[in-house]
Amino acid sequence: MKFSVRELVYIAIFGAIWGALELTLGSYMHVIFPPLGDTFVVGLIMASLGVVVALIGRLFVPRKGSVLMIGIVTAILKMVSIGGVKLGPLVAILAESLLMEVGLLVARKPMRWSFIFAGALAITWNFFHKFIMMWLLFGKEVYEVYMGMVQQGASMLRVDVSYAAAIIVLLLFIRIAAGALGGWAAWDLGRVVRGRLAR
């Protein structure tokens, strides 16, 4: 699908905004959060912000593939950052963008509920990302990653590891809720910004 010059400019702008957040706020939070919080809190916040930015971009370019293109721009900016190429964040950005596109396919045109669904779907990747990347990069078994996630979750939630199933479900639910909230916020913020620019 071909995009007009105006649409490509919007894609570049929103990709640059997401990329700038990753390079500045993301890097800063990795420093200030402790390791346990880093693996959950930082990823969740950055993914939620990415959802908001990319879905607002979809309101400005309401065509299939625009969110994925925004994600590709973001990934390129992430690749050329001072920290160098890190496979994990690149995969996460592209996967989240692709999942948002999949979520948006359920509606023929942008709608609030489709944005909420797309955001929730995108941030579920944040849950499965660690399982997949730890297996691909370090050859760790799923059970080993699962137990590590349970222990980190138990520490953050201040509960006993014997509640493993509840911890995992809660960690997944928090991500889904954050993604849905991001989609909701994107719908409202995007419409406000678009309206003001139109005036």
- In this prediction, residues 157-180 reach a mean pLDDT of 89
Band (149; pLDDT cuts 50, 70, 90)? confident
Question: Across all residues in the chain, what is the average pLDDT?
Answer: 85
Band (71; pLDDT cuts 50, 70, 90)? very high
Residue 166 lies in a domain: no
Residue 174 lies in a domain: no
Residue 152 lies in a domain: no
Residue 167 lies in a domain: no
Q: d(Cα 180, Cα 121) in Å, to the nearest integer?
A: 8
Q: How many domains does the chain have?
A: 1
Residue 194 lies in a domain: yes
> Which pLDDT belongs to residue 65?
94
pLDDT at position 39 over 70: no
The residues, ordered by sequence, that sit 6+ positions from 85 with a Cβ below 8 Å of its Cβ are 79
Domain that holds residue 70: 5-139+179-198
pLDDT digits (tens, 9 = 90+) for 76-120: 998 877 666 677 788 889 999 999 999 999 887 888 999 999 999
Single pTM value for the model: 0.88
Band (156; pLDDT cuts 50, 70, 90)? confident
Tell me the chain's radius of gyration from C-alpha atoms: 17
